[in-house]
Amino acid sequence: MPIKAKPYPFALPPTQPPALIVIDMQRDFVEPGGFGASLGNDVARLQACVPVIAKLIAVARRLGLPVIHTREAHRPDLSDCPSAKRLRGDCRLRIGDAGPMGRLLIDGEPGNAIVDELKPIPGEIEIAKPGKGAFYATPLQEILQQRDITHLLFTGVTTEVCVQTTMREANDRGYTCLLVADGTESYFPEFKHATLDMITAQGGIVGWVADSEAVIDGLEKAYG
């Protein structure tokens, strides 16, 4: 039974279930005092997708879907952060500077941790990524190949930056991708909506979009 989705129903693979990919649900973006706030964004906007992702993670764990979490994170010496990225914008605090939750966007700092509600459990994969896309300079592709995963369900933040970039990277690598509409958020609602439209335009040029309710219903019927 396929998932009710746009632009047309999303067929689930019969044997190896899709992976649930949770992009960058870290305090840096979602809580006050982090990198997202330092760029002048209203971080409260992103909190709407936290309970939706929590529900999807619970379903994925119960049905045995792999759950893969990512964090946008740089090494403490910033050797993986190009100055073109660090110096961009007119922000109060830059990547690597000390903020209220530790150094911004630095691996291991309190602000770089995934929010409490969505914490990975032992056995789940957590990938620190230095770029917007989760395939760039990470082992993600090998991890998916080792598990014969062909289909990916995307959630996380922000829709038009790290989520969309990763979904496009996944497309070029041959993965079949669906974005959960209420499981992703942006600081800019108009960018979120534009991204959903871009993904599904032209017969699903980047993939499919569905609500979490439809995704959960489809997963329960396929793997429950």
Chain residues that interact with ligand C5J, rule: CB under 6 A: 24, 29, 72, 157-158, 161-162
Please say whether the beta carbons of 54 and 118 come within 8 A.
yes
24 or 169: whose CB is closer to ligand C5J?
24
Residue 126, CB-side half-sphere exposure with 13 Å CA sphere: 17
Catalytic residue of the set 49, 81, 162, 177: 162
34 or 66: whose CB is closer to ligand C5J?
34
Catalytic residue of the set 24, 28, 177, 182: 24
Please tell me the total number of residues recorded for the chain in this structure. Answer: 224
CB of 28 to ligand C5J, least distance (A): 8
Catalytic residue of the set 49, 81, 129, 192: 129
Note if 162 is an active site residue: yes
CB of 175 to ligand C5J, least distance (A): 19
CB of 212 to ligand C5J, least distance (A): 20
**DSSP string covering 157-177, please?**
E-IIIIIHHHHHHHHHTT-EE
CA separation for the pair 46, 36 (Å, rounded): 10
17 or 184: whose CB is closer to ligand C5J?
184
Q: Which residues, in sequence order, are CB contacts of 138 under 8 Å at separation 6+?
A: 70, 127, 128, 129
CB of 167 to ligand C5J, least distance (A): 12
Tokens (6 digits) for 166? 């990763």
Q: Which residues are catalytic?
A: 24, 129, 162
